[in-house]
Amino acid sequence: MKKQPNITAKSIREARERIDHMVHYTPVLHSEAISKVAGCDLVFKCENFQKVGAFKARGAANAVLKMSPEERRKGVATHSSGNHAAALARAAQVANIPSYIVMPSSAPQVKRNAVEGYGGIVIECEPNLKAREEGLKAVVNQYGATFIPPYDHIDVVEGQATCALELLETYRSLDFLIAPVGGGGLLAGTALATKFYSPNTKIIGAEPEGANDAKMSFEAGYRIPVQTPNTIADGLLTSLGKLNFEIIFKNVDYILTVSDQEIISAMRLIYERMKIVIEPSSAVPLAVVLKNKNLFANQNVGIILSGGNVDLAGLPFKSS
Amino acid sequence: MKKQPNITAKSIREARERIDHMVHYTPVLHSEAISKVAGCDLVFKCENFQKVGAFKARGAANAVLKMSPEERRKGVATHSSGNHAAALARAAQVANIPSYIVMPSSAPQVKRNAVEGYGGIVIECEPNLKAREEGLKAVVNQYGATFIPPYDHIDVVEGQATCALELLETYRSLDFLIAPVGGGGLLAGTALATKFYSPNTKIIGAEPEGANDAKMSFEAGYRIPVQTPNTIADGLLTSLGKLNFEIIFKNVDYILTVSDQEIISAMRLIYERMKIVIEPSSAVPLAVVLKNKNLFANQNVGIILSGGNVDLAGLPFKSS
């Protein structure tokens, strides 16, 4: 086996050092006002301030830097229209290698521009999964590029784990740590880092009701992919990856779900009181806290704000 | 004369110490991305993260704390529906004295809630200047409360000066410092702090075209109040105060104006690239930089982001 088979305490720390020149050590913010509303002591790890505006910069950087020189020379590829596409293009740009991003023709121009702004080569395809997979296969065959998937990949998960590592280095007595869950890369990495560095901290996955496959899978003990996901938290539409499910099933304490209305209320509270821009996915953990105040009462709670890439023209706030 | 007649280097430093327990020492952010767009090296002093979400917390705190114990016992009063109302109510709350805020009946419920949330006593009046002034006079007569005006007051200006002091303590080689100008309290305080602590830094007032009385007054050499102000920068609708005009006329280098469209573009850039929430008034200085790139090329430029209290349901961003 070429890849290191396991993520360990040591390998997460090494990943943090590996990607140090590529990512921000993001700040942790407090909010007295929101802590008061929630009835617990909240700290927020701000990946909205991360490079490319999301935690995805970590996993992409780690995956690129773990490739052999020969692999790297041929570049990297993925199919994505979201934060991973921009994160991979940027990691490749910093590493001075080509990146090939297969994108559906329906992707917004602004996402295409982001990828091309980082020097990524966009390959357009029909807007369906089959066309995306075929487009990816063609690029991999033609250039010998290495496919870096958005979440279900050991080096990606290891990279995402560096986010919780940074938080736990400073905040050593968290009772709970909550991360949003979609494909599960961030939650799996968070669970492993916490298991190694703060074993008494309970780990919670925060999920939208409209894409609750992690909760269903977690309860069933096997993966149940989501059929027709529907939520404002557009970063969490995907189903849990296979590797990620295994890690999450073993290491996460609860998966808790919230409605879109609860997500929007939490998001608004963060904009109003913390004066920071987050994407809807980032608001899911706070929504979970506000919905389950008894569980968190007077506890020290860490929340990962996963990103800040939001359509500013379509913010979901109504006049109050 | 009861009040100290002048603002000095020493008095600004004393004000900073005086209000220290009441306000945040706000962070200064960089943005590589925006500096690249602007062609100069920008730093942003983030008063959007200040208590009550705006620099107004400083002046109100300083004014309250400079009152005599006897004056304080009788409380403070003002007429305002904006950030000053909330700032004064909060300063009074921390000082454990009453505050009377005369507000037009047309003021949004959310602003009323903010004042009452800080323990302020709201006195409703008809929505016109005469009614506001009469309402204020009645409160002052009835309770003996001290009127703390929103900007044209020496202790308020001295308090606002602490913001630039903090910035200049850390950033010692700014070529320019830019603050928005409405009533002029922030700009006057900024100009004085800069004159004392960084005399080689040029001071610029940034003003909306639709409320350009500061520019007109600055050029004429006497105060010309704005007649029908109209701008998205709703914190800058008021005309320059008398005291503030004198300070600004003597100590500011330029007043530069921008259109609402330019303000919205700058505001969007800050939301998108810095992931922080600001009110339109805060975007006016960056709009000035982007409109006058030659003036600022390759210079070190400080910008004061004055506040973050914005109607989230009415953000001016269109689909791109």
> Does one domain contain both A133 and A241?
no
> Does one domain contain both A247 and A213?
yes
Please report the number of interchain residue pairs, chain A to chain B, with beta-carbon separation below 8 angstroms: 46
Assess contact for B173 and B148: CB atoms under 8 A. no
Strands A121-125, A41-46: pairing kind: unpaired
Give the residue-averaged pLDDT of A294-308. Answer: 98
For the cut 50, the answer to whether the pLDDT of residue B2 exceeds it is no
Is A268 in Cβ contact with B49 (below 8 Å)? no
The structure tokens 């914005």 sit at B310
Kindly state whether residue A4 falls inside one of the protein's structural domains.
no
pLDDT over 70 percentage in chain B? 98
Assess contact for A207 and A215: CB atoms under 8 A. yes
Give the residue-averaged pLDDT of A118-134. Answer: 92
Q: Which residues of A touch B49 (CB under 8 A)?
A: 275
With CA atoms as reference, report the closest residue to B34 among B274, B280, B277: B274
Sheet holding B300-305, edge to edge: B28-30, B41-46, B300-305, B176-180, B202-208, B254-258
> Does one domain contain both A190 and A89?
no
Amino acid at B51: K
Give the residue-averaged pLDDT of B22-39. Answer: 96
For the cut 60, the answer to whether the pLDDT of residue B180 exceeds it is yes
> Does one domain contain both A102 and A159?
no
Is A308 in Cβ contact with B275 (below 8 Å)? yes
Distance, in Å, from the CA atom of B292 to the CA atom of B298, rounded to the nearest integer, reads: 12
Closest Cβ opposite residue B275 in set A49, A317, A320: A49
Give the residue-averaged pLDDT of B95-120. Answer: 92
Residue ranges making up the domain that contains B257: 9-54+153-310
Is A272 in Cβ contact with B312 (below 8 Å)? yes
Q: Which residues of A touch B320 (CB under 8 A)?
A: 110, 313
Q: Which residues of B touch A48 (CB under 8 A)?
A: 275
A56, A231, A279 from A305: Cα distances, Å: 12, 17, 9
Q: Choose, out of B312, B315, B317, the residue to mutate when testing the contact with A (most A CBs < 10 Å).
A: B312
Phi and psi, residue B87, nearest 5°: -65, -40
> Does one domain contain both A133 and A210?
no
Q: Which of B147, B179, B209 lies at the terminal end of a domain, its last residue?
A: B147
B10 touches chain A (CB under 8 A): no
pLDDT of residue A2: 46
- pLDDT bin (cut points 50, 70, 90) of residue B227 is confident
With CA atoms as reference, report the closest residue to A307 among A221, A204, A241, A234: A234
Partner residues linked to A78 by β-bridges: A101
Partner residues linked to A178 by β-bridges: A204, A303
Kindly state whether residue A320 falls inside one of the protein's structural domains.
no
Residue A271: closest C-alpha in chain B: B277
**Which 3-state string (H, E, C) describes B117-171?**
HCCCEEEEECCCHHHHHHHHHHHHHHHCCEECCCCCCHHHHHHHHHHHHHHHHHC
Give B315→chain A minimum CA distance, Å.
Answer: 8
> How many structural domains are present in chain B?
2
Assess contact for A10 and A268: CB atoms under 8 A. no
Kindly state whether residue A1 falls inside one of the protein's structural domains.
no
> Does one domain contain both B79 and B115?
yes
Q: Which residues of A touch B317 (CB under 8 A)?
A: 312-313
A113, B101, B264 from B95: Cα distances, Å: 52, 16, 38
Q: Which of B99, B117, B147 lies at the terminal end of a domain, its last residue?
A: B147
Give the other-Cβ count within 10 Å of A10's Cβ: 9
For the cut 50, the answer to whether the pLDDT of residue A291 exceeds it is yes
Kindly state whether residue B4 falls inside one of the protein's structural domains.
no
> Does one domain contain both A176 and A32?
yes
Q: Which residues of B touch A276 (CB under 8 A)?
A: 275-277
Kindly state whether residue B92 falls inside one of the protein's structural domains.
yes
3-state secondary structure of A280: helix
Within 8 A by CB and 6+ apart from B248, the residues are B181, B184, B187, B188, B191, B205, B214, B218, B240
Give the residue-averaged pLDDT of B56-85. Answer: 95
Give the residue-averaged pLDDT of A165-179. Answer: 96
Residue B268: closest C-alpha in chain A: A312
> Does one domain contain both A184 and A291?
yes
Closest Cβ opposite residue B313 in set A276, A278, A318: A318
For the cut 50, the answer to whether the pLDDT of residue B306 exceeds it is yes
Give the other-Cβ count within 10 Å of B270's Cβ: 23
Assess contact for A179 and A54: CB atoms under 8 A. no
The structure tokens 């009452």 sit at B116
Is A48 in Cβ contact with B275 (below 8 Å)? yes
- pLDDT bin (cut points 50, 70, 90) of residue A3 is very low
Task: Supply the ipTM of this predicted assembly.
Answer: 0.94
- pLDDT bin (cut points 50, 70, 90) of residue A320 is low
Give the residue-averaged pLDDT of A289-296. Answer: 98
Q: Which of A84, A112, A147 lies at the terminal end of a domain, its last residue?
A: A147
Interface of B with A in 228-287 (CB under 8 A): 268, 271-272, 275-278
Sheet holding B99-104, edge to edge: B121-125, B99-104, B76-79, B146-147
**Please, what's the b/e burial string for A183-198 (b: 16 or more CB within 10 A of its CB; e: otherwise)?**
bbbbbbbbbbbbbbbb
Partner residues linked to A180 by β-bridges: A206
Amino acid at A299: Q
Distance, in Å, from the CA atom of B60 to the CA atom of B150, rounded to the nearest integer, reads: 8
Closest Cβ opposite residue B317 in set A275, A312, A318: A312
pLDDT of residue B226: 86
Phi and psi, residue B178, nearest 5°: -120, 130
Is A48 in Cβ contact with B271 (below 8 Å)? no
> Does one domain contain both A132 and A13?
no
Strands A41-46, A28-30: pairing kind: antiparallel
Distance, in Å, from the CA atom of A280 to the CA atom of A34, rounded to the nearest integer, reads: 17
Assess contact for A150 and A156: CB atoms under 8 A. yes
pLDDT digits (tens, 9 = 90+) for A190-227: 999 999 999 999 999 999 999 999 999 999 999 999 88
Interface of B with A in 104-133 (CB under 8 A): 110
Kindly state whether residue A121 falls inside one of the protein's structural domains.
yes
pLDDT of residue A256: 98
> Does one domain contain both B165 and B293?
yes
φ/ψ region of A96 (left if φ > 0, alpha if ψ in -120 to 50, else beta) reads left
Q: What are the strands, taking DSSP E only, across A114-228?
A: 121-125, 146-147, 176-180, 202-208
Give the residue-averaged pLDDT of B132-147. Answer: 95
With CA atoms as reference, report the closest residue to B155 among B146, B167, B145: B146
Amino acid at B23: V
Q: Choose, out of B277, B310, B319, the residue to mutate when testing the contact with A (most A CBs < 10 Å).
A: B277
Q: Which residues of B touch A318 (CB under 8 A)?
A: 313
pLDDT of residue A184: 97
Interface of B with A in 50-69 (CB under 8 A): 53
Kindly state whether residue A3 falls inside one of the protein's structural domains.
no
pLDDT digits (tens, 9 = 90+) for A64-112: 999 999 999 999 999 987 899 999 999 999 999 999 999 988 888 888 9
pLDDT digits (tens, 9 = 90+) for A18-54: 999 999 999 999 999 999 999 999 999 999 999 999 9
Assess contact for A192 and A12: CB atoms under 8 A. yes
Give the residue-averaged pLDDT of A177-199. Answer: 97
Token digits for A28? Answer: 């942790």
Q: Which residues of A touch B48 (CB under 8 A)?
A: 275
pLDDT of residue B109: 83
With CA atoms as reference, report the closest residue to B84 among B24, B134, B148, B27: B148
**Which 3-state string (H, E, C) describes chain B?**
CCCCCCCCHHHHHHHHHHCCCCCCCCCEEECHHHHHHHCCEEEEEEHHHCHHHECHHHHHHHHHHHCCHHHHHHCEEEECCCHHHHHHHHHHHHHCCCEEEEEECCCCHHHHHHHHHCCCEEEEECCCHHHHHHHHHHHHHHHCCEECCCCCCHHHHHHHHHHHHHHHHHCCCCCEEEEECCCCHHHHHHHHHHHHHCCCCEEEEEEEHHHCHHHHHHHHCCCCCCCCCCCCCHHHCCCCCHHHHHHHHHHCCEEEEECHHHHHHHHHHHHHHHCECCCHHHHHHHHHHHHCHHHHCCCEEEEEECECCCCHHHCCCCCC
> Does one domain contain both A170 and A301?
yes
Kindly state whether residue A281 falls inside one of the protein's structural domains.
yes
Q: Which tops the pLDDT comparison, B113 or A208? A: A208
Closest Cβ opposite residue B277 in set A275, A311, A314: A275
Sheet holding A121-125, edge to edge: A121-125, A99-104, A76-79, A146-147
- CATH number, residue A239: 3.40.50.1100
> Does one domain contain both B221 and B75?
no
Distance, in Å, from the CA atom of B276 to the CA atom of A263, rounded to the nearest integer, reads: 19
